[in-house]
Structure 1
Amino acid sequence: MNMLFRTRFLLAAALGVAVPQALLAQTSPSAMPAAPPTTGTMPLSLQQAVDYAIKNKSSLLATRLGEATAAARVGEIKSAGLPQVNVAATLSDNFKLQKSLVDVGAFGGGTAPALTAADIAKAQSGQTATLSQVNVERVALPPQAIAFGLQYAGNSSVSVSQLLFDGSYLIGLKAAKVYTELAKKQTQQAEIDVAEQVSKAYYSTLVARSRLSLLARNVQRLDTVLYQTDKTFKAGFAEKLDVDRLRVQRNNLVVEQQKAQRLTELSVGLLKFQMGLPQSQNISLTDSLGAAVVDAGSLRRALGVASLNTGGGALGQAPVPTAPATPGADNTAAQNRLDQQNALSGGLGSQARGAINYNNRIEFSTLETQQALAGLDLRNRQAGAYPRLVLTGAYGFLGSSNQLGELFAFRGPDSRNSNGFPNQNWFGFGNVGLSLQVPVFDGFRRKYLVQQSRLQQQTIEKGFETLKQSIDLQDAQSRTTLINALDVLDNQKANLDLATDVARVTRIKFNAGVGSNLEVITAETDLRSAQTNYYSAIYDVLVAKVDRDKATGELYNQVKK
């Protein structure tokens, strides 16, 4: 099976699955720099790679900007309850004053003091003259157009308003905290996705490098066999056909090694991309891949499948299956029902079923937050029927003049002209009041808004049921997949041991002159195939373990650390 180490490792790495640290031999943790070094090699453990990506991945930084935007939005909502202060100033050039019709005839007629010639004579002689009241006839005049105001006018004022009561605002304050929590959980989900991508790429690189190192050793071993066979041929004890076969085998192996080298470089580039590192930065992976095989037994014990009669057990290959206790018994239907139940429950026993903690899943927690927001939205729309009370106040000055320069003289009440008459041109004003708004009828708009909010709540409640079913299925699938992957790993490990032993014995027989060259080539081919399948099985176990952790919510807890 000429798969190299299966190209799908890198393709799967692009999708990203995070791998827990229990499967790795960790090195001592060290602090990660805020920015990558420009020179030298950066040592990276899996945890360091994930931490760096969470701090520096551009897509995650964009998500955090969304979280900051949500916080700013909350501040905007809260600001509505603080005092609102505004300063305004206007300057107008009334180049054409507006006129209004005034009934000036209404101001005429009636009694009025009259000055007669006798009164004038008395005044001229120094005597006191008392004006007498005379009746004045009212003259009928049509309404006259009169302009009020002067050409230039100014206005400067300060206004203050304070919200005293608004039901929607009070509920909005309660929703602010929930809204912030939702943004944080969305960021947490993004962090989990980044951790998955980085970890998958990290393991892909580990597998690629291990596979490349193994290919290099295979080339060296084949070179030794080729050298010995060539010497035997020159001594006349081997055929040229044996040498040619080994040369063909070596050429194929070298091409496979070159392809593995390029694929390894690609996996390293993918890891740098997932971390947000520049491609020019050199890295060194410090974690070990071998711990994954050692940990297979503990994984089986955690899954409750440490002693199986078929497939691999906790300590390696299980014995060959024995015959059924009742040969010939027709139990196909019963077995099918049992298999179906085990598949749907992930192979769990009856006492362990239904023990999933849904709250460990970030999706479930996010949906709960959305449900809380939907409830507050319903209350907010219902609160639209409450009155709204606002305290208002304003203070300012009005001024006017026929000349622009005179308008900026700012003459107050104590100002006098040359004749001693008041010539004030700016006048103050002020007011304080309460504004009460009572919604009476809005065309049933609020009724339909409330109806929409209730339907949204019901939709989220249905979403809980769907999510629980999905989590149950993911739990069953991940458990079954992990068990199967462990079985395959045990089987491939046994095959690798057998293929290694067969290749060793075949080389010994060939060197002793009792084996054929074709047997050596066949054994080497089988060995490389077993090695490839073994590394594929290791990778599949890692992926299945991550899927299991994600299904149970453990991956979320690891990222929170």
Structure 2
Amino acid sequence: MNKLFRSPLLLAAALAGAAPQVALAQNAPSAMPQAPVQGPMSLSLQQAVTYAVQNKSSLLATRLGEATAAAKVGEIKSAGLPQVNVAATLSNNFKLQKSLVDVGSFSGGMTSSTTLTAADINAAQNGQTVSLGTVFTPAEPVPPTAIAFGLQYAGNASASVSQLLFDGSYLIGLKAAKVYTELAKKQTQQAEIDVAEQVSKAYYSTLVARSRLSLLSRNVQRLDTVLSQTDKTYKAGFAEKLDVDRLRVQRNNLVVERQKAERLTELSLGLLKFQMGLSQAQGIILTDSLGAAVVDAGSLRQRLSVADFTNGGGVAGQAPVPNAPALGTGNTAAQNRLDQQNALSGGQGSMARGAINYNNRIEFSTLETQQALAGLDLRNRQAGAYPRLVLTGAYGFLGSSNQLGELFAFRGPDSRNSAGLLNQNWFGFGNVGLSLNVPVFDGFRRKYLVQQSKLQQQTIEKGFETLRQSIDLQDAQSRTTLINALDVLDNQKANLDLATDVARVTRIKFNAGVGSNLEVITAETDLRTAQTNYYGAIYDVLVAKVDRDKATGELYSQVKK
């Protein structure tokens, strides 16, 4: 019974990619795709998470634990049902056990004899009836005699039944069964949330890696165009060979970078398949776009109570160069810093204050279930002082014989031998009764068990406060990380816009003959750096958003929408 109460409590990201407009968009829910025998699977983020929840081996193992808990509950409930047993034994008593018996005590220590006198003889001869007298005299002492009881072969067949009528621990166990099952389900929910987090991050990593690979391919094509034009200009005598060589070196470096991006994309894709529990040989097509996955910065800032509409519109609403607003506008940079400091220290902004619901966190709900189990464990150990009442009954047959074949003759009470004498060799027996067990004194064992349960309850109560503080810290950290990631994304988008414009103007000047080749190479290098930083910022925002949703307990529900 006590086992019921002893269940225990609980890639490197691809940086850089293409520069789509930032917009928040959720794909409409769609049916879970079935893995084809041949051909790739089309997967949205929601479908990828759903597939992982249904097929990942670690989750399947967790669900087996849930099924095991249900079976354990059934085991406990079975103790209250009738217990029926059938037994049969056959024994060969090749050496019968003997017992010492004082046979002299059977006659009371006396021996009897009959006296016959001459008068008695004469009377008998005359046809008279003679009554002979009995004389008792002390018997000679006889030592105890060893006597063997039973026959060589013996058999026994019986059926017994028992029914538990009252047991305090059993009644408490029935109440704990439902709570115990709930605990197993919540542990499964925790595993599902972890899988949703892993799949989401791997999915975003693959999207960013593919976008960066696509952008690098376009950069190679653009550089090939510049190289071709420069080579023609060199052949016409209007450019130096050094300009062509510099561009060729730049192109070779870009090709190598693209090859690295291809391998990183494959690695990201392999990680996603692993997190989904999908075979590495299975092809997949990601249907979500990076533009739909990137979070709208302005909307998030409003939700995080640090809205700044002058420079917080995300990529879609980003001004060319962010300008610090004047103090006193209500959404100042100083207010931004204050909100971030409040978040880091555990404080909340005005809109977010009081928004935390601890019950959204599965860890909090799991601890509540463990607390309920601890209370039932305490009641179970206190119930150990109650009596235990069991109804019992049995019926069977017992037989014996000096020959094995005779034992299986199964002769009943009406069986007689050739001489007409009873020769029964099997005899029935039966009984019914009540068994009452009243614990009186167990050496204070139950007292210390109850004390342990009370201390366990106090430990769980202290755990609630620790968990609340941990959730508060995670909430503050996720808010700050997300705010910082959004700020970095805005700045990197501004840098990307500037680098793109500089590269465009530099190419125009070079084609017009008023700019140098070195300026073009420098501008292209700065552009690629800006692109890499921008997509690194995109991925940081996506990961921070996943961490934020997990901290607030909304990750799994957000993904399923």
Q: Is TM (by shorter chain) over 0.5?
A: yes
1:141, 1:508 → 2: CA distance?
137
SS class of match (1:8): coil
Q: 1:316: which partner in 2?
A: 318
> Equivalent residue for 2:8?
none
Per the alignment, residue 397 of structure 1 pairs with 397
Match of 1:95, as an amino acid?
F
Distance 2:338 2:534 in 1: 33
Q: Corresponding residue for 1:19?
A: none
Q: Secondary structure at the match of 1:320?
A: coil
Residues 197 and 339 (structure 1 numbering): CA distance in 2 closer, same or farther, change over 3 Å? closer
Whole-Å separation in 1 of the counterparts to 2:375 and 2:518: 76
How many Å separate the matches in 1 of 2:117 and 2:440? Answer: 70
> What residue identity is the alignment partner of 2:545?
K
Instruction: Spell out the pairing of 1:336-355 with structure 2 (5 A cutoff).
Output: 340-345=341-346, 347-349=348-350, 352-355=352-355
Q: Which residue of 2 is the match for residue 367 of structure 1?
A: 367
The 1:375/1:419 distance shift into structure 2, 3 A limit, reads same
SS of 1:178's partner is helix
- Aligned match of 1:47: 46
The answer as to whether partners of 1:362 and 1:556 remain within 8 angstroms in 2 is: no
2:12 corresponds to 1:8: yes
Q: 1:162 corresponds to which residue?
A: 163
- Aligned AA for 1:357? N
Corresponding residue number in structure 2 for 1:3: none
SS in 1 for 2:205: helix
Q: Partner residue of 1:273?
A: 274
RMSD (CA atoms): 2.9
Moved more, 453-462 or 99-108: 99-108
Deviations 1:501-549 (A, max 9, x none): 1111111111111111111111111111111111111111111111111
Q: Does 1:32 align with 2:33?
A: yes
Q: TM-score, normalised by structure 2?
A: 0.88
SS at match of 1:475: helix
Contact kept in structure 2, 1:41 and 1:283, CA below 8 Å: yes
Cα distance change of structure 1 residues 302 and 129 upon mapping to structure 2, 3 Å threshold? farther
CA distance in 1, matches of 2:130, 2:427: 38
Contact 2:388/2:438, CA 8 A, preserved across alignment: yes
Quote the residue 2:450 is aligned against.
Answer: 450
Q: Provide structure 2 residue ranges, at least 5 long, that are not aligned to the other structure.
A: 1-10, 16-22, 329-333
Structure 1 residues 28 and 357: alpha-carbon distance in aligned structure 2, compared to 1, 3 A threshold: closer
Aligned residue for 2:142, secondary structure, equals coil
Shift in Å, 1:32:
2.4
SS at match of 2:493: helix
Structure 1 residues 185 and 324: CA distance shift in structure 2, 3 A: closer
| Deviations 1:73-130, CA, capped at 9 Å, x for gaps | 1111111111111111111111111111111111225698969899xx9xx99x9989
Cα shift readout 1:418-469 (whole Å, capped 9, x = no counterpart): 1111000000000001111111111111111111111111110000000000
User: What CA distance in whole angstroms lies between the structure 2 residues aligned with 1:130 and 1:282?
Assistant: 122
How far apart are residue 340 of structure 1 and its match?
Answer: 4.4
Deviates more, 1:23-32 or 1:80-89: 23-32
Q: Deviations over 1:301-328 (max 9, x none)?
A: 222222267x645643485236778xxx
Q: What does residue range 321-470 of structure 1 map to in structure 2 within 5 Å? A: 321=324, 340-345=341-346, 347-349=348-350, 352-470=352-470
Partner of 2:182: 181
CA contact (8 A) 1:489 1:537 kept: yes
What CA distance in whole angstroms lies between the structure 2 residues aligned with 1:52 and 1:117? 116
Kindly report which structure 2 residues correspond to 1:25-174, keeping only aligned pairs within 5 A, or say none: 25-26=26-27, 29-33=30-34, 36-108=35-107, 134-139=134-139, 140-174=141-175
Once the 2 structures are TM-superposed, how far is the Cα of residue 338 of structure 1 from its aligned partner?
8.1
* 1:476 to 1:129, Cα distance in 2 relative to 1, 3 A: farther
Tell me, in whole angstroms, the C-alpha distance in 2 between the residues paired with 1:339 and 1:193.
Answer: 27
How far apart are the structure 2 equivalents of 1:131 and 1:281?
115
How much does 1:476 deviate? 1.0
Q: Secondary structure at the match of 1:430?
A: strand
1:192–1:540: structure 2 CA closer, same or farther, 3 Å change rule? Answer: same
Kept after mapping to 1: 8 A contact 2:115/2:135: no
Provide closer, same or farther for how the CA distance between residues 210 and 132 of structure 1 changes in structure 2, counting only shifts above 3 A. farther
Q: What is the rounded CA distance, in whole Å, between the counterparts of 1:306 and 1:66 in structure 2? A: 46
Quote the residue 2:19 is aligned against.
none
Q: Is the 8 A contact 1:112 1:133 kept in 2?
A: no
Of 164-173 and 495-504, deviating more is: 495-504
Q: 1:223, 1:262 → 2: CA distance?
A: 22
